[in-house]
A and B are shown apart, each in its own frame.
Chain A
């Protein structure tokens, strides 16, 4: 566990340095806000409506497929580490495992879900 203390220290110092830099900017920079300056940029005209709108995310299906493969990586990393000891049997197991998931990708592809619509 002691190794993770170093990670914690890296996180702490990694947070302190940018906070310090931004604080320096906050201290030394001028602060004269006005409504025009605070409005968001929209090519020089006044912003039309809020930006937090509902937006069609065409890659929603991509995100679902991504989740499947991302979880799969959790299973494959231990497999990769011990592959040298386990030999051909584990390789075939791995091929079967990946093939099942790739069938899912092929199905999505065949269904036309990997097209930009």
Chain B
């Protein structure tokens, strides 16, 4: 057991030794060391978060054929620090007739809901916050707190735009949690565990390869849960000005902004963990935990990049379109996929690995294809129903 193989345990044992040497109770020393570890992880996350601001702005700029921040420091890297100083010394206004307690609680909960998600993220085989056996459920539960904070902010601001934003967030919440919960069961079925570490350990082949449709549905639901375009109804810059966070300024707005970016990065990480093997890559994770962390961060960044790609490519959809898309397409599809996956999993239980993978891929493709065909014929008949009275020639002019 050397520092290179298990740095966390070595450091924790050494620190515990130091604390007990000072005459501290063994249990208290253990909790104190755990506290320091959690604090260190969250501090590192906040530093990553600061650079995510820079990454996001640079990537948007490239998507829009601009340069992005490039004045302050090399490649504009110091820009986010300047932004933080600005946020700190900005006046923090509170609307006079707002619900003060809820108003102030919302940005704190928004940040906390993201940070506690990292309790179940396995950074390396030996490095994780806690090995919860209900990790998958924890992901959903903690994510719901983030949604709640947006609703709280929308309600408490006592502003009409914010209130509409909050209402819309309720609609998003009642829509996209069901598909997400449902496809979350697919990795659980394969791994026979809700434990994140066990899900990664069971991924000899990436679950993306045996359930590509599940991975896609998870991504769509995650983007909706994050409230990013095309599902950024609660924010809606062009119609609700800024939606739920319209009345927030200074560091409270900063918490919403930083929380959203870190949330997107975290869900990129969960996408990688559930469907792309987490920290596993060609056995490199066995070499050193540091390498495993690097692999996970690279995969999370790739997932984050896909989420950004979607955000800056798609336009916002309307709320009724979103509800219809979810309840008439995504939810039935997610349930059909879950049942097909469960059925194939039982039928192919004793099949060789290649046949299992092939059968799963085919089942996914057929399910997705049937769903798209049904949706296509349904929209065609609806369009004909609406445009039925018109002649085709008139419709063109």
Contact = CB atoms under 8 A, between A and B. Distances in A.
Interface of A: 3-7, 9-15, 17-19, 21-22, 24-26, 28-33, 35, 37-43, 47, 50-52, 55, 57-59, 62-63, 65-66, 69-70, 73, 76-77, 80-85, 87-88, 90-91, 94-95, 98, 102, 105, 109, 114, 116
A38 B96 CA distance: 5
Contacts of B38: 6, 9-10, 13
Given A7-B116, A59-B323, 18 more contacts: A4-B132, A7-B132, A10-B119, A10-B130, A13-B115, A29-B91, A31-B92, A55-B163, A59-B174, A66-B177, A70-B177, A76-B185, A80-B342, A81-B193, A88-B346, A91-B343, A91-B345, A116-B324
10 contacts: A3-B132, A5-B34, A11-B112, A13-B38, A18-B112, A40-B247, A43-B241, A66-B177, A83-B342, A116-B323
B338 A9 contact: no
B267 interface: no
Interface string B164-192: 00010011001101100110010011001
A39 B95 contact: yes
Nearest to B195: A81
B320 A116 contact: yes
Interface string B102-141: 0010011011111110110000000001111000111000
Contacts of B171: 59, 62
B42 A13 contact: yes
Most buried by B among A37, A42, A51, A81: A51
A15 B130 contact: no
Interface of B: 31, 34-35, 38-39, 42, 46, 87-98, 104, 107-108, 110-116, 118-119, 129-132, 136-138, 155, 157-163, 167, 170-171, 174-175, 177-178, 181-182, 185, 188-189, 192-194, 241, 246-247, 250-252, 254-255, 319-320, 323-324, 327-328, 331-332, 335, 338-339, 342-343, 345-347, 349
B140 to A, nearest CB: 8
Contact of B347 (A37, A47, A88, A116): A88
A28 B90 CA distance: 8
A contact patch SS: helix
B130 A13 contact: no
Given A9-B35, A14-B112, A25-B90, A114 B328 contact: yes
B250 A29 contact: yes
Given A40-B95, A73-B181, A18 B323 contact: no
A19 B384 CA distance: 56
B contact patch SS: helix
Given A18-B107, A87-B349, A29 B88 contact: yes
B177 A21 contact: no
Contact of A40 (B119, B159, B343): B159
Contact of B251 (A7, A21, A35): A21
A77 B335 contact: no
B10 to A, nearest CB: 19
A40 B157 contact: yes
A38 B94 contact: yes
B174 A11 contact: no
A14 B251 contact: no
A116 B323 CA distance: 8
Contact of B108 (A15, A33, A83, A102): A15
A13 B189 contact: no
Contacts of A13: 35, 38-39, 42, 115
Nearest to A101: B335
Given A14-B112, A25-B92, A7 B170 contact: no
A109 B378 CA distance: 14
Nearest to A59: B171
A70 B170 contact: no
A25 B192 contact: no
B254 A21 contact: yes
A83 B323 contact: no
